[in-house]
A = this chain, B = another copy of it.
């Protein structure tokens, strides 16, 4: 037996395997995941495992290494989040999100820090040796809402898109603030005296860390898009570039002490549309699937490790401090959301309701980021107290808030996400309204959101697409792309149901049947149109119209409860066409 030799990969594989099997186990019993969020169950599994390890070895089980967390477990989750981020609601609410993420986090940090310092002054609690700076440092790590925890809970409760993006966007973007404040206070702790210059430098760092992250991310994202222009002959390594460049953007940002999370999100959002157009369909399926898989495994491992690391003797149980931490976290977040939303609502037509505000405040879950940061603290005599307080806050938010948020959403009747994907018609209308609003903004001289969006779109189609896309001479409209996607999905469904004909005929066939059945005038109009329009565009339009028109006419019998689709209907359809043809003959 030669265990030494294979130990590292063997143990990593076993941990991943355990995590995946735990995931399968939960989903075997359908009732369990519908009541308790997966994150809670995973932490629970971790707690049990930690207990077993502790019981067997009689010493604390190994805690999650902060390096492993930040370098290997966090990036896949953030990449997944950034790549699948719905960009429209995100950019529509970017102002609100930034306000929550920057001002809100600073508010929380100082609120929690100063109030805890007040608690430390109470002699009965025996906490006088915890300085203001240490309390602020602790505040900076405990104030950060955790994207992993938020995602795990909010993905299951399906609140409306705006609410989701507000909470989730905040949890992602507050990373820049947390990084700066945490490092600032940590360096202050080690300095003998603090000059006012240092404080100003800290404020300046906000912008460097955040904007630097965006810059690093975008440059890697565009490089990735540019690289995929040349992969036509080796499709098989296309997905690799998406992962490699995003990961490099994260590592580079971390290397320069910028916000890695912001970098990887910018990278993913920047490259997405170009990469999607360049790589093959199968490559894209692989990218999407692997991203989801990877983030799902990372997520599972993080929660299990969180459970395992909780067990042990790293804690100092000073209950007053711990309880007040939980209370202050709740109070300051609620207050912050209330105050900030008041200002936000004054400048927006589409306001945030009080129900939404409650869910935003209540959805401020803490998770593995706090946990890793607290272990990264320099050694000082109260570190174990901070670890204990952080652990309790995380468990409280994940278990109590995470488990009650779903019933609360039901109870408050918070607006839910729409279930169906937008139709082609809706998309066309949204696009039309965008153009209209951009025009109005341009005329009125108000340089708002739509104006900038329009400018960006112009810049994109004028320069970026030509550099980054392989077939830049004929860029397809996103409407056509959406339509193609729906078509493909439909085709696969048809094939799986065994209802696909081999002839390349159907649509044109229907189309021609239509043209025949209508009067000759239409044909003449077509002729005219054909002269003025690009024939390619016309073909697309004709096809789309012909099919969708026919589809709408068909909807009646297609949804009949008593006939299976494809059972009696086809003959009817055939008949209908025949009758039409008959008449025209």
Binds B, one of A13-21, A264-272, A385-393: A13-21
Give complex CA distance A20, B565 in Å: 48
| A residues 225-254 touching B (CB-CB < 8 Å) | 227, 230-231, 233-234, 236-237, 239-241, 244, 247-248, 251-252, 254
Closest chain B CB from A296 CB (angstroms): 6
- The answer to whether B570 touches A512, judged by C-beta atoms less than 8 angstroms apart, is yes
List B contacts of A491 (CB < 8 A).
491-492, 494-495, 500
Q: Does A460 contact B (CB under 8 A)?
A: no
Closest chain B CB from A575 CB (angstroms): 10
- The answer to whether B550 touches A503, judged by C-beta atoms less than 8 angstroms apart, is yes
List B contacts of A504 (CB < 8 A).
494, 497, 499, 565-566, 569-570
- Most interface-central of A230, A248, A503 (chain B CB within 10 A): A503
Closest chain B CB from A490 CB (angstroms): 7
Our pick among B227, B237, B495, B505 for the contact of A297 (Cβ within 8 Å) is B237
- The answer to whether A499 touches B507, judged by C-beta atoms less than 8 angstroms apart, is yes
Q: Whose C-beta in chain B lies nearest to the C-beta of A9? A: B71
Give complex CA distance A496, B20 in Å: 36
List B contacts of A296 (CB < 8 A).
234, 236-237
- The answer to whether A492 touches B490, judged by C-beta atoms less than 8 angstroms apart, is no
- The answer to whether A255 touches B3, judged by C-beta atoms less than 8 angstroms apart, is yes
Give complex CA distance A244, B248 in Å: 25
Q: Does A445 contact B (CB under 8 A)?
A: no
Give complex CA distance A285, B507 in Å: 28
Give complex CA distance A16, B242 in Å: 13
Q: Whose C-beta in chain B lies nearest to the C-beta of A256? A: B1
Q: Does A378 contact B (CB under 8 A)?
A: no
List B contacts of A381 (CB < 8 A).
none
Closest chain B CB from A295 CB (angstroms): 9
Q: Does A551 contact B (CB under 8 A)?
A: yes
Q: Whose C-beta in chain B lies nearest to the C-beta of A292? A: B236
Closest chain B CB from A155 CB (angstroms): 12
- The answer to whether B570 touches A508, judged by C-beta atoms less than 8 angstroms apart, is yes
* Contact flags A10-50 to B (C-beta < 8 A → 1, else 0): 10011011001101100110100000000000000000000
Q: Does A571 contact B (CB under 8 A)?
A: yes
| A residues 135-166 touching B (CB-CB < 8 Å) | none
List B contacts of A256 (CB < 8 A).
1-2
Contacts A498-B487, A554-B503 known; A254 to B2 CB distance under 8 Å? yes
Our pick among B502, B506, B571 for the contact of A501 (Cβ within 8 Å) is B506
Q: Whose C-beta in chain B lies nearest to the C-beta of A498? A: B543
Our pick among B227, B281, B554 for the contact of A24 (Cβ within 8 Å) is B227
Give complex CA distance A102, B53 in Å: 46
Contacts A239-B290, A251-B6, A495-B488 known; A505 to B573 CB distance under 8 Å? yes
- The answer to whether B513 touches A574, judged by C-beta atoms less than 8 angstroms apart, is yes
* Contact flags A382-419 to B (C-beta < 8 A → 1, else 0): 00000000000000000000000000000000000000
Q: Does A458 contact B (CB under 8 A)?
A: no
Q: Does A509 contact B (CB under 8 A)?
A: yes
Q: Does A431 contact B (CB under 8 A)?
A: no
- The answer to whether A237 touches B293, judged by C-beta atoms less than 8 angstroms apart, is yes
Q: Does A314 contact B (CB under 8 A)?
A: no
List B contacts of A506 (CB < 8 A).
499-501, 503, 505-506, 570
Q: Does A452 contact B (CB under 8 A)?
A: no
Q: Does A257 contact B (CB under 8 A)?
A: yes
- The answer to whether B240 touches A297, judged by C-beta atoms less than 8 angstroms apart, is yes
- The answer to whether A244 touches B20, judged by C-beta atoms less than 8 angstroms apart, is yes
List B contacts of A574 (CB < 8 A).
505, 509, 512-513
Contacts A1-B256, A251-B10, A501-B506 known; A244 to B16 CB distance under 8 Å? yes
Q: Does A313 contact B (CB under 8 A)?
A: no
Q: Does A530 contact B (CB under 8 A)?
A: no
Give complex CA distance A508, B498 in Å: 10
Give complex CA distance A540, B499 in Å: 11
| A residues 254-300 touching B (CB-CB < 8 Å) | 254-257, 281-283, 285-286, 289-290, 292-293, 296-297
Can you name 30 A-B pairs with beta carbons within 8 Å? A2-B257, A5-B67, A6-B71, A9-B251, A10-B251, A10-B252, A16-B244, A24-B227, A24-B231, A28-B233, A30-B233, A239-B289, A240-B297, A282-B285, A498-B540, A498-B543, A499-B507, A500-B507, A501-B507, A502-B548, A503-B570, A505-B570, A505-B574, A506-B506, A508-B566, A508-B571, A509-B573, A512-B571, A512-B574, A578-B578
Having A503-B510, A508-B571, one finds 11 other A-B pairs with CB under 8 Å, namely A5-B254, A6-B255, A20-B241, A239-B289, A282-B289, A488-B496, A494-B500, A500-B500, A505-B566, A508-B570, A512-B570
Interface, chain A (partner B; CB < 8 A): 1-3, 5-6, 9-10, 13-14, 16-17, 20-21, 23-24, 27-28, 30, 67, 71-72, 227, 230-231, 233-234, 236-237, 239-241, 244, 247-248, 251-252, 254-257, 281-283, 285-286, 289-290, 292-293, 296-297, 484, 487-488, 490-492, 494-510, 512-513, 539-540, 543, 547-548, 550-551, 554, 565-566, 569-571, 573-574, 578, 581
Q: Which 6 A-B pairs have the closest CB atoms?
A: A501-B506, A491-B491, A505-B570, A491-B495, A27-B233, A286-B289
